Amino acid sequence: MRKISCKNKMPNGQPVRQKIDINSKLNYEIAYWLNQAEFNENHLPIHYCDPDIYPDFIALNTEKSKFYYTPKTALAFYSYDRTFDHLNGLYNAIYYNDKKLLEKYKKRYANINFVIAPDYSIFDDIWRYENESRLFKIRVIMLWFQIELRAIVIPNAIYVSPEKLPLYLSGFENCTTIAFSTKGHMRYNSDIKRIKETVKYVVDNFPLKTIIVYSVCGKDDKVLKVFDYATNNNVKVLIVNNTMRQRNRILTMKSENIASLRASNQKTFKFE
pLDDT for 11 equals 74
Residues 120 and 167 in one domain: yes
Residues 18 and 43 in one domain: no
More reliable by pLDDT, 12 or 32 = 32
Short-list 104, 106, 136, CA closest to 120? 136
How far is it, in rounded angstroms, from Cα 90 to Cα 161? 28
Residues 143 and 16 in one domain: no
Short-list 156, 270, 129, CA closest to 213? 156
Is pLDDT at 240 greater than 80 in this prediction? yes
Number of H helices, E strands in the chain: 10, 9
Assigned domain for 109 exists: yes
The dihedral through the CA atoms of 243, 248, 253, 254 has a sign that is: positive
Distance of CA 19 to the CA centre of its chain: 38
Assigned domain for 269 exists: no
Assigned domain for 270 exists: no
Q: In this structure, how many other beta carbons lie within 10 angstroms of the beta carbon of residue 67?
A: 18
Q: Taking residues 131-156, what's their average pLDDT?
A: 97
Residues 110 and 8 in one domain: no
Distance of CA 4 to the CA centre of its chain: 38
Contact 41, 167 (CB under 8 A): no
Residues 99 and 218 in one domain: yes
More reliable by pLDDT, 255 or 217 = 217
Assigned domain for 31 exists: no
Residues 3 and 121 in one domain: no
* 113-134: pLDDT as tens digits: 999 999 999 999 999 999 999 9
Is pLDDT at 271 greater than 60 in this prediction? no
Residues 45 and 12 in one domain: no
How far is it, in rounded angstroms, from Cα 271 to Cα 4? 95
Q: Is the pTM of this model over 0.85?
A: yes
Could you tell me the CATH number of the domain that includes residue 57? 3.20.20
Residues 199 and 83 in one domain: yes
3 state SS of 45: strand
How far is it, in rounded angstroms, from Cα 173 to Cα 141? 19
pLDDT for 25 equals 78
The structural domain count of the chain equals: 2
Contact 55, 123 (CB under 8 A): no
Q: In this structure, how many other beta carbons lie within 10 angstroms of the beta carbon of residue 218?
A: 18
How far is it, in rounded angstroms, from Cα 132 to Cα 27? 19
Q: Taking residues 60-89, what's their average pLDDT?
A: 97
E runs forming strands in the chain: 4-9, 15-20, 57-60, 73-76, 114-116, 152-154, 177-181, 210-214, 236-242
Q: What residues make up the domain containing 17? A: 1-26
Residues 11 and 68 in one domain: no
How far is it, in rounded angstroms, from Cα 256 to Cα 246? 16
Residues 14 and 58 in one domain: no
Residues 22 and 66 in one domain: no
Assigned domain for 272 exists: no
* 55-69: pLDDT as tens digits: 999 999 999 999 999
Contact 85, 91 (CB under 8 A): yes
How far is it, in rounded angstroms, from Cα 75 to Cα 59? 5
What does the longest C-alpha to C-alpha distance in the chain come to? 112
Assigned domain for 68 exists: yes
Residues 100 and 184 in one domain: yes
* 153-192: pLDDT as tens digits: 999 999 999 999 999 999 999 999 999 999 999 889 999 9
Q: What average pLDDT does the structure give for the chain?
A: 91
Assigned domain for 137 exists: yes
Assigned domain for 178 exists: yes
Contact 149, 106 (CB under 8 A): yes
